[in-house]
Amino acid sequence: DASQFDYPTKENFKNKPLINSKNWHRELIKLSIKQVLVTTHDPHQRFKEINQARENGLTLINAIHPTALIMEDAIIRDNVIMHARAFVGYCSEIFSGTIINTNAQIDHHNVIKECVTLNPGVVTGGNVTIGRYTVVHTGAIIINRIRIGENSILGAGTVIIKDVPDNVTVVGVPGR
């Protein structure tokens, strides 16, 4: 419904060429484009496309909003997207392909593995590890010293007070 929303066509987006091809990396190389940011919604597909970019010699770049705040000694890998007012705490490590949405807060000494998606308003305590491909939905809260497994889903508003295994969906307060 937004009046200022732009939709891509098969050929362009915001008056720029849009490549819609399984061999997108080859098309970019032909056009002498060497830097890319993979934004695919599905975390598994994003991981696959990041690896295709690497295998084809493309440089993966980050997209970090100017209002995002990254504390001292944080490590931000390549192909990370940080939206407005995202926060990454002291000595945290953000792996490739991670998307940190608006107002998400990652406290100190967190490890966010490959292709995790943190939706708006997510808050993590200190010393939290989130496994690859996990999606944490809007407003979820994770207390200190928690490990979230790989390929899991944490529902909107969920409060996580104990470790979460791989391949599960957790909802509720506290999360179950």
* Burial classification of residue 114, based on how many CB atoms lie within 10 Å of its CB (0-12 exposed, 13-18 middle, 19 or more buried): buried
Our CA dihedral for 30, 32, 58, 16, rounded to 10 degrees, sits at: -90
DSSP 164: B
Active site residue 108: yes
* Dihedral (CA of 129, 131, 132, 134) sign: negative
Given 25, 65, 83, 108, which residue is catalytic? Answer: 108
Do 135 and 117 meet the contact criterion of CB atoms below 8 Å apart?
yes
CA max distance for the chain: 52
**Could you list the active site residues?**
108
